[in-house]
Structure 1
């Protein structure tokens, strides 16, 4: 595996850390213990000569190894990191509590340990979900009524009105008698309201004296014809008066022009 030393140094000196502290490390050639500062990030165990050094002296990949306590060493509180067929690292802590803490975090730093923990947690979660489903299945009813579909009330969605009858309202006959006039119906009320002139009242009186049975539509047609005759008479009178005024004005203008055209001596003699 190719390692970029610069990036690895930046990673080793950048917090946060999973665990850190001083340990005594036994050398590979020189069997004496040397004090080093260890930093654990993930499954990488870096060790420095001093705490604030910028570059680590080395790194131990905590994968495929065994963490075990050593009792035969003269140095107290020793434990070892054993790789199968490779080097064994022997470390010692200052007291028993630190030794147990380091052994615990190093044991749980490997990928294999995390994989086993995740699998166990997933199994427990599946058991909890199955138990909850069984409880809910016992408590809930077997058939849940379906919710009715939502309907919108549109004020324009109304049934069409029934078709009108064959005989229209205004085509009903109205019996007219001589004493009380037209029968009191909605149509005749409109007729009474429309009769605002003397001629229309005279026409209604003539129809009353005749004692005829007429429909409302025929009565409206006769009234319309009578009103039309009155209007046409007024139009003719207005037109005749306008023509007469125009003729008088034209005669006056012609006389003024003739007077203006006469010599001054004729005007004085006249």
Structure 2
């Protein structure tokens, strides 16, 4: 694969987010350790003579490799390329925590690893959507014909009385509609005001006459009060 060195150097020192950086001791097979400043960006592991250099000394493309522990030095591991003619890089840190963090970062940096992660996340998403669909299907009641009932649009209130037949009474007792739906009563005979006056006037006159007669019996000497 051809790599444009100029663009690669520009990418190494650009403002692109850095996944991890720090000092590591590195050597290849048959060589001694040298202290380098490493910067990990995506699947590209750049290393410099010192921090702040404008150009990297080299780059390791983390594709088709494995990250393994070594038994030679404390807190050391290696980047192994299994292909024919592949190289092996030995890296050493100064603590167990730093070694584990670097091994994890490098193992997760390859494009193949990202593809596996995306495939796994897609599988989990498909399973979750299938479970939600199955749960939703069990919650929707079916009509006697096996069809799903009509669901009113979002925001529209559902009136259960719309399905009542014409023969059913749609009014509520005590409401205005209930009074309107009652059977009309038979028209009553109209009574004139004159008849009311005559009927109650006779009663009043009779009571008045009785009252005046009682007054005469109790006080015959006193004059009657004229009403």
Return the offset for 1:135: 0.9
Task: Note the residue ranges of structure 2 that are not aligned, 5 or more in a row.
Answer: 143-147, 154-227
**Which protein shows a greater Rg?**
1
- Taking the aligned partners of 1:129 and 1:145, their CA distance within structure 2 comes to 23
Return the offset for 1:2: 2.1
Structure 1 residues 136 and 62, CA gap change in structure 2 (3 angstroms): same
Return the offset for 1:139: 0.9
Q: Give the aligned partner of residue 45 of structure 1.
A: 45
Q: Give the aligned partner of residue 150 of structure 2.
A: 145
Which fold has the larger relative contact order, with Cα–Cα distance below 8 Å and residues 6 or more apart in sequence? 2
- Taking the aligned partners of 2:4 and 2:152, their CA distance within structure 1 comes to 63
- Taking the aligned partners of 2:70 and 2:2, their CA distance within structure 1 comes to 34
Q: Give the aligned partner of residue 12 of structure 1.
A: 12
> Is the 8 Å Cα contact of residues 19 and 41 (structure 2) preserved in structure 1?
yes
> Is the 8 Å Cα contact of residues 25 and 91 (structure 1) preserved in structure 2?
yes
**SS of the residue aligned with 1:100?**
helix
Return the offset for 1:141: 2.1
- Larger % of helix: which? 1
Return the offset for 1:134: 1.0
Return the offset for 1:25: 0.5
Return the offset for 1:144: 2.2
CA shift digits 1:76-131 (9 cap, x unpaired): 11100001131100010111111000100110111111111111111111111111
| TM-score, reference length from structure 1 | 0.51
Q: Give the aligned partner of residue 234 of structure 1.
A: none
Range with greater deviation from structure 2 (100-109 or 135-144): 135-144
- Taking the aligned partners of 1:133 and 1:144, their CA distance within structure 2 comes to 17
Task: Note the residue ranges of structure 1 that are not aligned, 5 or more in a row.
Answer: 149-270
- Taking the aligned partners of 1:5 and 1:116, their CA distance within structure 2 comes to 30
> Is the 8 Å Cα contact of residues 27 and 34 (structure 1) preserved in structure 2?
no
In the alignment of these two chains, the number of paired residues is 145
**SS of the residue aligned with 2:120?**
helix
Return the offset for 1:27: 4.2
